[in-house]
Amino acid sequence: MAVTHSRWTEWGARDIHLMPGMISPRLDELLYVTDSDDGEFQASRAEPANGYTIKFTAGFTGAPNAHGIKVDPDSGEVTVLQGWETAPEPRLRTFIVTATATRDGGTATSYLRIYVHASTSFLWLSPSSLTVRQNAKNMRFSVLARFDDAVVGDISNWSPLNAPTSGELDFVRHISTNDPVLQWGPREGDSPSVIHVDPVTGDITNEGDPDAQVKVEVFYNLGNPLASAMVRGAPSWDTGVNLKFIKGNGGFASMFRDDMHNVLFLPEGFVDDAGGADRKLFDEYVSKIITTLTTNPHTRPFDLLAHKFNFFSAWVPSPEKGCTFLSEVYPREMVSGHRRGRNLELPRPPATPLPDSLGLPELIFTVGPPNLRHDPPGSPAGTDASGRVHNWQTLYGPVPTEARTADSYDTWLSRNDRTLVNERNTAFHIAIGYRPRIDRASMPSIDISAHPLRLHDDDLDKFLLHLRDDKGTPLSDEEMSPWAEGGKDEAMIVLLCRTNRNAGANVIRGTTGTTARYLCITLDDLSTVDYDERTDGNGCDLVPDPVPKDVGLGAWGTIAHELAHPFTLDDEYGGRVGVLSAKDLKDVKASNNVQERAALENASQQLVPKDVKWRWPRLHQAGVLADPSDDESAVRPVPGSTDRFLLTMAKGHGKAFADPEVDIVKLRKPHLTPKPKYSDRLRVVDVQGDQLTVVLVAGSQLDPTDFGGGDLVVAPVRGPDPDLQNDQLGDDLELMHKVVFDRINDTHNPLNAEADAAHNRACGAEPKTPTPASNFAPGTRPARPKLSYRLVGLYEGGHVLNCGVYHPTGQCMMNETTTFDAASKKRSITPFCSVCRYALVDEIDPHAHGVIDDEFYWDYPQ
C-alpha cells in the first residue's frame, strides 16, 4: 500500500498564465494519484486518515507567500495579488509548483509551470473558424493571448474542461468571485441559430443544421467581447461516406473473413480544391506507401504478409490544409520568406547532486524560458553580484549561479521569440504535440492525436459505423463495420496527416478497453514547422507543407511501426523515469516484445532469464490446422491406430512439411502470450497435399481433442540429435541462444550492461540505439552475429520507461524507426528485430515462419 504515480489531467498539465487579481484552479482537483492499494483517485479526495499527504510547494524564495504571489500548500491554488504589476524588480514572472503525494514510503512528484503577466495585449480564438457537425460532441475553440511581455500563451484552461459541480474550482477566477474568469456566448436561446455555446466551458453544440453559422464570443465575466470567431455547421458524422478499395486480397468480398486484416486510410488536412488536386495527392501518396510496405523487404515481415491485408480509403476533405501544431516553437531560420521553427526544448529538473553546469533543459526548468520584452537579444547574463543572474538567485535561490548558467545562457536567450502557431480547422482535428507543459506525458515532439478540445471518440465511431462500399451500399446488414469499436479491425485505421513534420502515434479510443485505436502518421520526417506572423496581431499562422513526391523514410517507418502495435508489439524505447502503473503493467504483460523486470527476478531480486517471454523455439516451418468439416476434427487418429494421427492443414500449408528437414513437429495453441500450450513431439511420416500423417515419438503422448482447427503445427529447429533413428533428439533451439542465457544468468545483468559492471547492477540512463551487447568479457562474445546488437537477450528500456522493462535486441523498428549511419551520413529504415518478426508472423500468418528463420540463421550464434 503505497503511492506509485501521479499525473495531471490534460487541463492540469498545461502551463497556467495569470494576471494580478487572479486565482489559479485548485491544483488538487487537476492532479490524480495512483496507489498500489486504492488505484487512481483525484488528489482532492485523498484521505489523510488513510495515510495520504498531498502537498504543493512553490519554487521561489520566500514561498509560499512572497513577491506578490501566494501558493496554498494544501489545495495548490496560486493567487496573484493586486499590486504585483507595480512591485520593484526583480519581479517573479514564472515559477514551478511541485505536487508531492506520499503514503507508506511511496512518493510521486509532478511539476507545473505558472506564468504571471501584467496584462494582455491581444486575445483571439483559434482556429480562426471552426466547423461543427450536427450533434457533434466535444467541440471548442482554443483561446490564445499575447501578454504585455510578448509571451503568447494558451489560456483555454481559464475555463473548466467540464461543467463544474457544486464547490469545484478547477478554473481561473478573480479574487472576488468563484465564477470562471471567462464566459462564452451565444448561449442557448440568445440567437435564432441552432448553434449555441455552453457559457462556462465554451463547448459548442449544433443541434441539427448542417448549414448553420454563428459568431462565437468570449468575454471577461460577460463584459465586452474579448474575441470572436465563426462556427460553421456541417452534416452529421453518420452521413455515409463511400470506401475506395486500393489493394489487397479480395477487397470487399473478403473484408469480413477472420484471417483478413483491413486497413483504412483517412485524409487529415487535405482539401477539396480546384480540379481535385489535393485528393489526387492523397490517393497517390497512400498508394505509394502501401506498395512500399507490402513489397519492400526492409520492413519485413509485412512484405511476406501482404496477402493477409486489404487496404481501403475514404475521402473526407478538410476546410483547411495542414495539421494543427500545439507545441511551443522558436524560429530557427527564414526559408522562402517564412519562419521555420523548432520545438522549444523540454525542461528537465537539475540532477542531484547539482552539476557544475546546467544544460539548457535544466536552465529552462529553473528560471523559465526567456521573453522578448524582458530578455531582448544581446541582454547580458550579469554576475552573481548584479544583473540577471543575481536577480535569478534573488527569485529562485542559489541554483542558477554565474558558473552554472554560463554554458547555456546564450542558447537560452536565443529562445526569446518563442511562440504558438494558430490551429487548423481540419476534418478529424488531429494535432501534433501538446500545449506547453513542464510535466510531459510522453514525447511532445512526435506525439500526434485528436485535439483534446475536438473530436469525441463516439463521433469517430459513428463515422466508421456508417461507411459504405464503392457503390454506396452499407457494408453489411448483419455485421458491424470492421473498423468500429468492437469490430475485428478496430485498430486498423490510419489518419494520414498533411504535414511533413515527423510524428506518429497509436491512439487508444473508445470505452471498451485498449484494443480500439487509430494510427496517426505524417508525410515526412522533418523536425521543423513553417509559419508566418499575422498582420492583425492574432498570432502566427501555419504555412502548409507541400506533399512529397515520394514516401519518406519517416512515413514508411512510422506506418510499419504503428501497424505492428495491434499485433502484440509494444514500444521498445524508454525516455521516461518512473514505475509501471497498473495499466502499464497490463499492457506490458499483453505484449510479446517487452517484459517487466518483476517477472524476471528471483527470490533475491536478482535478474534471471528463466522466464523470458521470447524463449520461443526457432521454427523450420509452421502452418495452421483446419477442420475438414463440421463433423471432423483437424486432428484425429488414423483408423485402427493408437500412435498415428492425421493432421489437416489450411490450404497450401501442408507443402512446407514435405521438406526432409521438417521431420519432427509439435502441435501448439495460437498466440504467444500468455505462454502457449505445446503437444509432445510427433514424427512426420507422410505428406499428401495438406494432410500430414504423424506418429508419436518414443515417450510422447497426444490427446487429439486438445487441438483442432485454428491451432498450429510447428517444426522447431533442433540441436544435434544423439540418435535420430531411435528418437533420441536434440533440444529445440530457442531464439535466445544458450550463451546469452548463461551470461545474463551469471551476471544478473542485461546485455547492455558493461562487462565489468557489478552483478545485478542498478539500471542507468536510457541506452543509445543501436545498443551493443556489451555484457561480455573480452573474447567471449559470439562471433556471430557480426553486429552484437542483433543478439537476442534482454536490453533495458521499453513501454516508454528507461528502467523496469526489457526488450529483446539492441536494434529494432519498435525502438527507432530509422537509423543514422555516422560513416555514410545517411539514414535508413531500421528493420524489425528477429523477435518482433517472429511475433508478427505468428499472429498474422504462421506459414511464413520458415522464411524468417532462414534469415535469422545468419544472426544466430554458432
Q: How far is CA 111 from the centre of its chain?
A: 21
Specify the pairing of strand 16-18 against strand 106-116.
parallel
Confidence of residue 11 (pLDDT cuts 50, 70, 90): confident
Ordered structural domains, the chain, with CATH: 3-118 (2.60.40.10), 119-236 (2.60.40), 266-289+307-337+422-567 (no CATH), 345-413 (no CATH), 582-614+735-859 (no CATH), 619-726 (2.40.30)
- Span 763-774, average pLDDT: 93
Q: Dig out the grid coordinates for 294 from the structure.
A: 507490402
Alpha carbons 511 and 346: distance in angstroms, whole number: 32
3 state SS of 656: helix
Classify burial at 41, counting beta carbons within 10 Å of its beta carbon; exposed 0-12, middle 13-18, buried 19 or more.
middle
Q: Dig out the grid coordinates for 626 from the structure.
A: 483446419
Confidence of residue 661 (pLDDT cuts 50, 70, 90): confident
Q: Among positive and negative, which fits the CA dihedral 772, 776, 779, 784?
A: negative
3 state SS of 415: coil
pLDDT at 5: 85
Count other C-beta atoms under 10 Å from residue 404's C-beta: 21
Give the N- to C-terminal CA distance of the chain in Å, as an integer.
48
- Decide which of 10 and 836 is more confident: 836
Confidence of residue 223 (pLDDT cuts 50, 70, 90): low
Q: Is the pTM of this model over 0.75?
A: yes
CB distance 791 to 736 below 8 Å: no
Percent of the residues in the chain that have a pLDDT greater than 90, as a whole number: 88
Nearest of 87, 86, 90, 79 to residue 374 by alpha carbon: 90
Mean pLDDT of the chain: 95
Scanning the structure block, which residue is given the C-alpha cell 518482433?
Answer: 836
pLDDT in tens, 619-638: 999 999 999 999 999 999 99
277 sits in which H/E element? helix 277-295
Confidence of residue 682 (pLDDT cuts 50, 70, 90): very high
Q: Is residue 191's pLDDT more than 90?
A: no
pLDDT at 150: 96
- Decide which of 479 and 28 is more confident: 28
pLDDT in tens, 491-511: 999 999 999 999 999 999 998
Lowest mean pLDDT among 628-632, 679-683, 832-836: 628-632
Q: Where are the beta strands (DSSP E) in 104-260?
A: 106-116, 120-126, 129-133, 142-147, 152-154, 173-174, 182-185, 195-197, 204-206, 213-220, 225-234, 243-248
pLDDT at 478: 64
489 Cβ contact list (under 8 Å, min separation 6): 261, 262, 263, 264, 482, 483
Q: Is residue 697's pLDDT more than 90?
A: yes
